[in-house]
């Protein structure tokens, strides 16, 4: 049996110019049940975030039966200045033949934060923007990286499939990365950049 669960919160973000949603997530699935179905991890405790009924995150999966908590940060500045309904929606599988054994998604430390416009605000260790966005599959990533080191990126489609990935060694400072993805179909994608312990997701629209 496929089960859907949705947990929603409301937030007033009308006074904010930029927004981040951060949370800790743990996803667990049953190897026995997965094997009984077809062995496909597309059944395995998937979770996505909807904002005002629009998908605003990649679809999160776990490849390990006993996944551990990890921290996610999602840039949702596109929704700054609005009244928000933020929903965490999961798709899990359970079966009475296994005594209700099935998938589970755990969430903790959910935080919605907005940037404060002040000259004394400390600089972020890492930040980036996408230009142009929307685009035709060609776009640039402009970043500020104040610590340098290994920078990894992944581009996902709305179903959580990896469309492009890369690893770069970058010195501290500002820079840009040009991506050419003309083969992508029109739609919504999600770009994840990871520097050290900092991970940020942003939405990319291809028209």
Same domain, 95 and 170: no
Q: Is residue 50 part of a domain?
A: yes
Q: Distance between CA 153 and CA 194 in Å, rounded?
A: 6
pTM: 0.66
When divided into structural domains, the chain yields a total of 2
Q: Distance between CA 173 and CA 119 in Å, rounded?
A: 20
CATH of the domain at 25: 2.60.120.200
Does 84 have pLDDT greater than 50? yes
Q: Distance between CA 21 and CA 36 in Å, rounded?
A: 36
Q: Is residue 29 very low, low, confident or very high in pLDDT (cuts 50, 70, 90)?
A: confident
Helix (H, G, I), strand (E, B) or coil at 100: coil
Same domain, 105 and 141: no
Same domain, 101 and 137: no
Q: Is the dihedral of CA 171, 122, 57, 66 positive or negative?
A: positive
pLDDT one-digit tens code per residue, 153-170:
999 998 888 899 999 888
Q: Is residue 121 part of a domain?
A: no
Q: Distance between CA 73 and CA 22 in Å, rounded?
A: 4
Same domain, 30 and 104: yes
183: Cβ–Cβ under 8 A, 6 or more apart, which residues? 137
Q: Distance between CA 144 and CA 171 in Å, rounded?
A: 10
Residue-range definition of the domain harbouring residue 183: 126-206
Q: Which of 66, 93, 114 is the last residue of a domain?
A: 114
CA 3: distance to chain centroid? 22
Phi and psi, residue 64, nearest 5° = -105, 140
Distances (CA, A) of 53 to 25, 88, 171: 21, 11, 39
Q: Distance between CA 63 and CA 54 in Å, rounded?
A: 26
Mean pLDDT of the chain: 82
Segment holding 34, helix H or strand E: helix 31-37
Same domain, 58 and 108: yes
Between the ranges 66-70, 82-86, 178-182, 183-187, where is the mean pLDDT highest?
Answer: 82-86
Same domain, 11 and 37: yes
Same domain, 26 and 98: yes
pLDDT one-digit tens code per residue, 118-153:
444 455 678 889 999 999 989 999 988 877 788 899
Same domain, 20 and 89: yes
Q: Is residue 119 part of a domain?
A: no
Which of 29-33, 152-156, 159-163, 186-190 has the lowest average pLDDT? 29-33
């Amino acid at each position: 049996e496929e089960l859907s669960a949705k947990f929603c919160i409301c937030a007033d973000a009308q006074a904010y110019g930029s927004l981040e949603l951060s949370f800790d997530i743990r996803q667990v699935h049953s190897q026995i049940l997965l094997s009984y179905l077809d062995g496909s991890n597309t059944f395995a405790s998937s979770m996505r975030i909807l904002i005002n009924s629009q998908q605003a995150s990649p679809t999160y999966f776990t490849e390990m039966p006993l996944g551990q908590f990890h921290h996610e940060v999602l840039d949702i500045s596109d929704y700054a200045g609005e009244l928000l309904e933020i929903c965490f929606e999961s798709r899990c599988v359970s079966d009475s033949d296994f005594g209700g054994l099935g998938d589970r998604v755990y969430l903790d430390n959910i935080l919605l934060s907005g940037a404060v416009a002040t000259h004394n605000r400390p600089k972020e260790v890492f930040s980036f923007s996408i230009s142009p966005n929307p685009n035709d599959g060609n776009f640039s990533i402009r970043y500020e990286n104040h610590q340098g080191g290994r920078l990894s990126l992944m581009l996902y489609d709305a179903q959580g499939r990896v469309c492009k990935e890369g690893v770069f060694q970058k010195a501290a400072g500002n820079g840009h990365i040009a991506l050419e993805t003309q083969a992508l179909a029109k739609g919504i994608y999600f770009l994840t950049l990871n520097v050290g312990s900092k991970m940020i997701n942003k939405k990319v629209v291809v028209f």
